[in-house]
Chain A
């Protein structure tokens, strides 16, 4: 009987404890505070070859920050596959990091949630002023006319990576500057039994980056000037058809790449199975896969005709990582201090070198390390021929719906079904209908 009594008491206690915890929690949606000035939580995106590699790069810098300010930074490197979901969850629950990295293309979408600290003049002044940053990089920090939702941290651009040995064997003397030249080179390379160009047909973001550039080159945009989706615009249809056509008609992208989504095309290139790769800042990645730097060359991404530039000569999206502060942080001043540290000239040089990226901070770009031939191509692209992806709140839905449409078109091409203007238009129409009414 005594034990039954004990069990009953235990049961009641447990119930009360459960009820108490259920009532606890709740979301903190208020503004920021300075309640815990000695610690910061930082979510870094995965920039290097692995999570561990990133920790090795970042830890010494965070220790340096702690020595100078006494603020301890807890680091978590979040893989790309999880990052956006984690940010959404943090936004919904109010339980998130103080400072975090975001893909710069998400800026406008995340800005719309209102969870990120807006960088107005006052906040910019706290980190040294807005004009320290390159204007192209600032173009991908949120919707036009609003205070940026984040500040640029690393800048990246697409380039054409080519295998020098395969090019020499196939008798291709210089990297192709136009798509027609690329297709021509592809034929020679195929004759030697290698695959010409790689793609990640099932990776929605990669698809978006490429069709965005193709659309620019065809003189079209996926969104109208007032931010409405315009996917079925004949020029957009033509652009998407041309990109998928690299597999469907020109056969320079092998059919197998239609199911790639885990950077298999980078491995194919690093292993010397494939002659060309269109990728953003691939050097660090290729090095980690054992490809030596003198085995490949870097050239600007081809255009339809002429040389890369503005307008229809755009050959890369402005890629990059932005750094944002969660509005409800409990260490607002510390968070800004940390952003200031990470965007200082010294840290910009160290970190961008480690990740083979270009510093968005103008004064750091002058470092000779960023004038090496490989980074020079990226730097030049960013400065002269890169354009920001649409800065609209529905950008992340656009990536999903149009990215999926391109994935399905690649699947058609791989299965040997024709990819026509009609079939492209049908997929894009479906994608547009799935977009939220703005």
Chain B
């Protein structure tokens, strides 16, 4: 197997299979979550701590509906059933988020509370939402992926290319990246080109002038939550299809999502996406064991004996933290020159 010649093609195949594809799909999932946080921040002026748990809530609906559909035998072979129920799950999540807005956030908007106060309220919503999910679904892991697992498997890839190192493209990875691109394109089109989208940007830019232009703030808020519900449910479902679901895991997703938003530049949708991929690639690149990769690239005498893993996977959340600290020290506005975290 391991010859002493340098084998760049197999090294690249290895890296694609274990780093690039997983990081691309993880990055896409984070990007959708980060975009939702950015929308809430821009329009409603608070950092939504309930984002991770809202994703758990949306995914919970997807899981319940998927189970129901499979029980009824209402499936299409090859396609994950979860994909079919996402539209209904989005409606469910939208109703939940809008109810939370009416019950909690609306009051703080009316009394013109400071943004830090609303952030604290969102932490309350986070606990309630997480509790609801654990109450309904339980804390245990859930697997809800069905249908074809691979677009092409390692074995098929090897047979096709004759390479020693195979690449597998999981259905969930393919779906994640494809759907994320379509959804992001839709959100940007909506914000840039439609009248309602422009009104959202206007409201985010200058609330008082938006009112003076006749823009209805209630409508802007509602549309924002509808977009957030779509992004949240889809991000959660895709992450769950890819990596499985536990309420705790989704709760912890908040950290890499916030890191993405801040690294990219708070309030900048493009920044949120760039930040998400930066965080995802850092996590995967820093926790990957490079032993086999180096064996492909180095002559026999230099082959590593250790795993050559920079950071253990159990520390992956620390990476988001580290990047966050570095960015806040060096460039607090983020890559895309967003706002800094101050309460105006």
- The finding on whether chains A and B are genuine partners in a shared complex, rather than unrelated, reads no
Q: Which residues of A contact B (CB under 8 A)?
A: none
